[in-house]
Amino acid sequence: MPLQFAVQSLTGDAATVSVDVRRLYNFGYAGRDAASIQEHIDELVELGLPAPGSVPALFPLPPRLATTDGVISVTGTDSYGEVEYAMIRADDGQWYVTVASDHSDFEIEKLSTSKSKTVYPDVVAGTVWPLAEVREGWDDLVLTNRRTDADGTEVVQQSPVATLLPPEALLSVLEERTGGEIPVGTIVLSGTVAGLPATGAPSWEVSLEDPIRGRSITLSYAVDQLLAELVGAAARAS
């Protein structure tokens, strides 16, 4: 089923766009500072995560993993959200931008980054901006990630998008590696900013703020933490 997005435009006109998702890609290690990227990779390797095969890393995912749902289901407490900007080429042929969370599982990431990205959805906000409207002043946009648990709400990631490669750079890499024009129905996540959020929170909120134009897009979603297994009475008693 196509995803529907509300377009928040500077013209003030109310509109919606539809996206029949045919391609979904996640970038990783897509920062502008090569030294900082390598430092981050080294830190993750020390934590047991594999190093990427190339920088920036680029992962093709099943299109069904793109969702605007407000609740996702996970197994156990090892998952966490990561804030990213998302670019969407809608069915009208135009590019739009919004905020997203690449929800991941830390323990599976230790085995394979690419496999970990196919376990849980890419949660995408239901509101978008025309990409052309934010090209000017792009570096002033700010990404924020908040996790909420029983102890309260905490900002775990916050950074200007200036720390990440800009849209034209990411799309150029995508075209080069796929060998052709990016088709309608494509969603591209940018890779995340600095910070490794603690796992296990039942609620996440990510936002993309445009301070120049005084607007923002916020995505909140809940995590339904499933038990690993429902055991019988004999097993519970042992």
What confidence score (pLDDT) does residue 13 get? Answer: 80
Q: What is the pLDDT of residues 72-106, one digit of tens each?
A: 999 999 999 999 999 999 999 999 999 999 999 99
Residues of the chain with pLDDT under 50: none
Which domains are seen in the chain, by residue range? 3-237 (3.90.850.10)
- Looking at residue 238, what is its pLDDT? 66
Q: What is the mean pLDDT of the chain?
A: 94
Q: What is the pLDDT of residue 64?
A: 97
Residue closest to 143 by CA, chosen among 208, 81, 217 = 208
Mind listing the pLDDT tens digit for each residue in 44-58?
788 787 888 889 999
Summarize pLDDT for 120-134 with one digit per residue, the tens.
999 999 999 999 999
* The one-letter amino acid at 116: S
DSSP assignment of 161-224: GGGB--HHHHHHHHHHHHTSPPPTTEEEE----S--PPS--SEEEEEEEETTTTEEEEEEEEEE
pLDDT on residue 235: 67
What predicted TM-score, i.e. pTM, was given to this entire model? Answer: 0.93
Phi, psi of 106 (to 5 degrees): -65, -40
pLDDT of residue 47: 79
pLDDT recorded at residue 228 = 85
Pair 119, 105: CB distance under 8 Å: yes
